């Protein structure tokens, strides 16, 4: 007990509560009195004064180690996070399930589609159902106004597609711009000007942005399939740029265009292919004494790419623009560098050297290169090699992969998506297996490159690894893409060869046989419009697989394919089959086989016939057949 507390207790025992109050307030220390003292105080009915809810502030001079530990209670600072952080953290614990069907389908073997055709039908059916629902909700919005969701979910309510504000006013114009009704907005703008009203510069700039983005026509709502097709076609076709279009007209009507208006106009021109016009507009801008901004320069560099065919001019012009950009003190961003890299694409050695300086510049400015930039880089280095089958320097791709391993990517540039296909093509071409594994590791998403990946593995690894990857990839992802996959005949042949190569345990052979049956079905399906040719080796492999799995009936079917496809079996194959049937004691089949071999005029047929005769006791019919065959054979010979 400390000195102070002892004093207090003594005072209390003497019944002098008033003295206690004074002495307590005089004490320098506020500390919790040990419980036994407190108890004695209770009996005097003074009250529980000491059990205060306070932190312990201890003065070291009065402290005694025997008393309860006088540690400070440190309350840590409260952590804050955004609304979805916990969900994201928990979602990170979940990985892809290998055997599961696609997320769009019911998780049931009966209810989920079995082939690519079924998948297509189901997806289209679901999509059309969704479209019908959307159509009804948007056409009769008054029936869908009850809102059950708390908090309010705006995307579940019917969309307001019709503009609410009628009449000719700036507010109405703003609304139409927001609803992306290009033609209506332009008409309204014209009406406003005719009526003598002025439209503010901001709103006019918004209108210009709208027109340039959509190319002077209304945006079209596309369905899911159309979207997947269109993003490919967007790259191939460019929207035509008409003369006297509304953007230029409205721009001309502006009394004092500012940087933003010029920016909209130039970007629109570049997007729709009017490259030289864009550069002219830029000189206009400079003449009027205005400064450009990042977007303008990005567009201009893209214009350079489009308008100057020779690489020297391109480099020169883009250099000019970059210098101007610097003089106007504008900071380049990711898109600038990607545009520059695109300019350097087909420029040979100089391009390659400059590419490195571009990347170091990006690092200096702390801009993270996107997948698109890496794509340009590997394209520059490997394109020539791919075309001319030259030996390429693997170091580049290795370095790139080391850079990007472990980082997560969001798509930032339209070229990003092509990175994986090109990387995989290169790996395939030059047989870089470890790199291929790295690319696969990087991302679990990807379509075309997986088929190539699988092909590469099939060529190089042993059968167990192949089967593991097969099991991983085939059921979920590739079953949907089976059609594309099956088109690749080489792959199938490879697989067959692999399976036939070695002898394995019984279960493996069984699964091989199942695989082979699947492949046969792919080949023979009359619905598909692809022509796949059976080669001799593939049919031989097929037969051998079936024989290894002791499935002689299927093997017999496969042998029949020789005739159907006008191919000739080899002696070894027939010998193998014969031995198999002889082992099983199926004499009839053996005889049939010999007939077949005679039909194909295989030179060793007499030997085979002799073998059979040696091994077995043949019946009358069989002997006569064999005799006939021998005669025929000798006759032909």
Partner 1 sequence: MAASIYLPMLEYFMYYLYQAVVPRTVKMAEDQDWTAVYPTAASFKPSAVPLPIRMGYPLKGGVSPDKQGNLELIKIPNFLHLTPAAIKKHCEALKPFLTEWPSALDSDEKCTEHFPIQVQTKDFVSSGASLRNPNARIVTMKVPLSSLNLDDHARKKIIKLAKERYCEETDTLTLVTDSCPLKQQNYDHAMYLLTVLYHESWKMEAWEEDKAREDMEEYEWQDSPSQRNVVELLERTKGTEERKKDLLSQPEVQEYKDAIVIMKNHGETEENLLRYKEAVKKLYNI
Binding site for partner 1 (CB under 8 A): 32, 45-49, 51-53, 55, 69, 71-79, 81, 85-86, 89-90, 92-101, 107-110, 114, 148-151, 471, 475
Written as one string, the DSSP assignment of 393-459 is: -HHHHHHHHHHHTT------SGGGGHHHHHHHHHHHHHT-HHHHHHHHHH-S--SHHHHHHHHHHHH
Cβ contacts of residue 183 below 8 Å, gap of 6+?
217, 218
User: Closest approach of Cβ 464 to partner 1, in Å?
Assistant: 13
The 3-state DSSP class for residue 96 equals: coil
User: Cα 201 vs. chain centroid, distance in angstroms?
Assistant: 41
CB of 122 to partner 1, least distance (A): 14
Q: Which helix (H) or strand (E) holds 463?
A: helix 463-473
E strands within 459-507?
none
Comparison of 425 and 479: residue with beta carbon closer to partner 1: 479
Q: Hey, what are 625's tokens?
A: 């057949």
**Least Å from the CB of residue 150 to partner 1:** 4
Rank residues 75 and 220 by Cβ distance to partner 1 and give the closer one: 75
**Three-class secondary structure of residue 63 per DSSP:** coil
CB of 373 closer than 8 Å to CB of 336: no
Query: Closer CB to partner 1, residue 91 or residue 636?
Result: 91
User: Of 86 and 627, which CB lies nearer to partner 1 in the complex structure?
Assistant: 86
Which residue, 151 or 195, is less far from partner 1 as judged by CB?
Answer: 151
Secondary structure element (H or E) that encloses residue 563, with its range: helix 552-564
Nearer to partner 1, 44 or 405 (CB): 44
365 within 8 A of 399, measured Cβ to Cβ: no
* Angle in degrees, CA 360, 366, 372, rounded to 5: 70
Instruction: Tell me the closest approach of the beta carbon of residue 541 to partner 1, in angstroms.
Output: 23
Instruction: Record the tokens describing residue 610, joined without a space.
Output: 């002799």
Shortest Cβ 53–partner 1 spacing (Å):
5
CA angle 460, 466, 472 (to 5 degrees): 140
In the complex, the smallest distance separating the C-beta of residue 104 from partner 1, rounded to whole angstroms, is 16
Q: 57: helix, coil or strand?
A: strand
Nearer to partner 1, 151 or 240 (CB): 151
Identify which of residues 49 and 345 has a Cβ nearer to partner 1 in the complex: 49
Q: Is 95 or 329 the residue whose CB approaches partner 1 more closely?
A: 95
Longest dimension (CA), the chain: 141
CA 191 to CA 195: how far, in whole Å? 6
- CA-wise closest residue to 417 among 455, 370, 468, 384: 370
Here the tokens at position 297 are 């320069």
* Minimum CB distance to partner 1 smaller for 155 or for 220: 155
Region of 256 (left: φ > 0; alpha: ψ -120 to 50; beta: rest) is beta
3-state SS class at 30: strand
Least distance to partner 1, CB of residue 143, Å: 18
User: Per residue in 374-391, is it b (16+ CB within 10 Å) or e — as a string?
Assistant: bbbbbbbbbeeebeeeee
Pick 112 or 448: Cβ nearer partner 1: 112
584 sits in the region (left: phi over 0; alpha: psi -120 to 50; else beta) called alpha
Question: Please, what is the minimum distance in Å from the beta carbon of residue 6 to partner 1?
Answer: 21
Looking at beta carbons only, is 149 or 220 nearer to partner 1?
A: 149
Least CB distance to partner 1 at residue 7 (A)? 20
DSSP states along 299-356: HHHHHHHHH--SHHHHHHHHHHHHHHHHHTT----HHHHHHHHHHTTT-HHHHHHHHH
Provide, rounded to whole angstroms, the least separation between the CB of residue 46 and partner 1.
Answer: 8
CB of 309 vs partner 1, minimal distance in Å: 52
Minimum distance from CB of 551 to partner 1 (Å)?
Answer: 16
Nearest-approach distance from CB 93 to partner 1, in angstroms: 4
Distance of closest approach, residue 90 Cβ to partner 1, in angstroms: 6
Q: How far apart are CA 175 and CA 180, in angstroms?
A: 9
* Cis before 151? omega within 30: yes
**C-alpha triplet 381, 369, 364: angle, nearest 5°:** 105
Nearer to partner 1 (CB atom), residue 96 or residue 623: 96
Asked if 516 and 496 count as a contact pair (C-beta separation under 8 A), the reply is yes
Phi, psi of 619 (to 5 degrees): -80, 175
The smaller minimum CB distance to partner 1, of residues 549 and 629, is found at: 549
Closest CB to partner 1 among residues 70, 493:
70
CB of 75 to partner 1, least distance (A): 6
Distance in angstroms (rounded) separating the CA atoms of residues 18 and 237: 97
Burial status of residue 495 (CB atoms within 10 A of its CB: 0-12, 13-18, 19 or more): buried
């Amino acid at each position: 007990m400390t000195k102070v507390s002892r004093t207090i207790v003594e005072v209390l025992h003497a019944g002098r509560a008033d003295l206690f109050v004074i002495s307590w307030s005089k004490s320098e220390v506020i500390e919790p009195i040990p419980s036994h003292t407190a108890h004695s105080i209770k009996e005097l009915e003074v009250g529980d004064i000491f059990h205060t809810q306070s932190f312990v502030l201890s003065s070291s001079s009065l402290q005694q180690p025997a008393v309860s530990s006088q540690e400070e209670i440190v309350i840590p600072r409260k952590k804050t996070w955004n609304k979805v952080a916990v969900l994201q953290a928990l979602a990170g614990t979940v990985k892809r399930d290998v055997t599961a069907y696609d997320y769009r389908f019911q998780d049931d073997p009966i209810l989920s589609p079995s082939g690519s055709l079924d998948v297509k039908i189901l997806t289209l059916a679901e999509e059309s159902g969704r479209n019908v629902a959307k159509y009804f909700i948007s056409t009769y919005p008054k029936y869908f106004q009850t809102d059950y969701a708390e908090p309010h979910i705006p995307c579940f309510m019917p969309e307001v597609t019709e503009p609410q504000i009628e009449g000719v006013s700036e507010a109405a114009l703003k609304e139409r711009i927001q609803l992306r009704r290009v033609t209506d907005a332009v008409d309204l703008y014209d009406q406003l000007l005719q009526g003598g009203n002025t439209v503010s510069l901001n709103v006019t700039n918004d209108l210009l942005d709208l027109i340039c983005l959509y190319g002077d026509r209304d945006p079209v709502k596309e369905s899911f399939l159309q979207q997947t097709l269109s993003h490919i076609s967007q790259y191939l076709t460019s929207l035509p740029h008409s003369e006297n279009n509304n953007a230029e007209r409205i721009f001309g009507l502006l009394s004092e265009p500012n940087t933003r208006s010029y920016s909209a106009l130039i970007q629109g021109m570049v997007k729709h292919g009017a490259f030289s016009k864009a550069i002219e507009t830029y000189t206009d801008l400079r003449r009027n004494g205005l400064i450009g901004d990042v977007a303008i320069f990005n567009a201009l560099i893209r214009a350079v790419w489009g308008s100057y065919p020779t690489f020297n001019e391109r480099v020169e012009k883009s250099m000019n623009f970059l210098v101007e950009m610097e003089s106007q003190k504008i900071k380049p961003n990711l898109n600038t560098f990607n545009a520059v890299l695109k300019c350097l694409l087909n420029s040979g050695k100089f391009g390659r050297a400059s590419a490195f300086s571009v990347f170091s510049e990006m690092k200096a400015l702390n801009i993270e290169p996107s997948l698109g930039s890496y794509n340009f880089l590997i394209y520059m280095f490997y394109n020539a090699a791919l075309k001319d089958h030259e030996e390429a320097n693997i170091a580049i791709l290795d370095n790139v992969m080391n850079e990007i391993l472990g980082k997560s990517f969001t798509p930032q540039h339209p070229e990003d998506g092509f990175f994986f296909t090109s990387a995989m093509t290169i790996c395939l071409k030059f047989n870089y297996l470890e790199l291929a594994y790295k690319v696969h590791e990087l991302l679990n998403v990807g379509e075309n490159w997986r088929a190539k990946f699988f092909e590469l593995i099939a060529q190089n690894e042993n059968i167990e690894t192949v089967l593991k990857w097969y099991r991983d990839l085939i059921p979920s992802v590739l079953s949907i893409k089976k059609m594309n996959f099956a088109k690749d005949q080489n792959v199938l042949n490879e697989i067959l060869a692999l399976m036939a190569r070695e002898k394995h345990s019984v279960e493996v052979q069984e699964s091989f046989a199942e695989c082979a049956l699947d492949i046969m079905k792919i080949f023979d399906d009359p619905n598909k419009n692809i022509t796949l040719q059976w080669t001799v080796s593939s049919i031989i492999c097929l037969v051998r697989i079936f024989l290894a799995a002791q499935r002689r009936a299927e093997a017999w079917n496969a042998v029949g394919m020789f005739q159907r496809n006008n191919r000739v079996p080899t002696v070894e194959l027939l010998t193998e089959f014969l031995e198999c049937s002889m082992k099983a004691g199926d004499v009839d089949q053996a005889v049939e086989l010999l007939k077949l071999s005679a039909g194909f005029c295989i030179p060793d047929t007499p030997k085979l016939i002799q073998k059979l005769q040696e091994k077995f006791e043949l019946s009358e019919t069989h002997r006569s057949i064999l005799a006939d065959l021998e005669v025929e054979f000798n006759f032909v010979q």
